[in-house]
Amino acid sequence: GESLEKVRQALTSDISVDMRLEKKGNGIGLKNVNERIKLFYGNKYGIEITSIKGSFTKLTIRLPGVSQG
């Protein structure tokens, strides 16, 4: 929905898309984690959010695999 799109935009923008996100704290922590993952591992890694209204919301955190050896 609309709020999901605002959270997605907040994850990738330099400034918060919606001031309500800052007041409530929603999305800002996710943005921080997403930025740290990208800084440490590169732009192909990070957080992705998918949702179907009234059914589910899925948060995927993409990290590189760890090789043992």
Answer whether residue 13 is part of any domain.
yes
Owner of token pair 């959010």: 49
Answer whether residue 52 is part of any domain.
yes
For position 18, what pLDDT does the model report? 45
Answer whether residue 19 is part of any domain.
yes
Q: Give the model's confidence band at 2: pLDDT under 50 very low, under 70 low, under 90 confident, else very high.
A: low
Beta bridge partners of 50: 58
Answer whether residue 68 is part of any domain.
no
Nearest to 1 by CA among 57, 47, 46: 57
Does 5 have pLDDT greater than 90? no
* Gap between the Cα atoms of 30 and 9, Å rounded: 11
* Gap between the Cα atoms of 62 and 69, Å rounded: 22
Residue-number span of the structural domain to which 21 is assigned:
2-62
* Gap between the Cα atoms of 53 and 51, Å rounded: 6
For position 41, what pLDDT does the model report? 96
* Gap between the Cα atoms of 51 and 46, Å rounded: 17
pLDDT in tens, 17-62: 444 444 555 556 888 899 999 999 999 999 998 888 889 889 999 9
Q: What is the pTM of this model?
A: 0.63
Answer whether residue 67 is part of any domain.
no
Answer whether residue 69 is part of any domain.
no
Q: How many domains are contained in the chain? A: 1
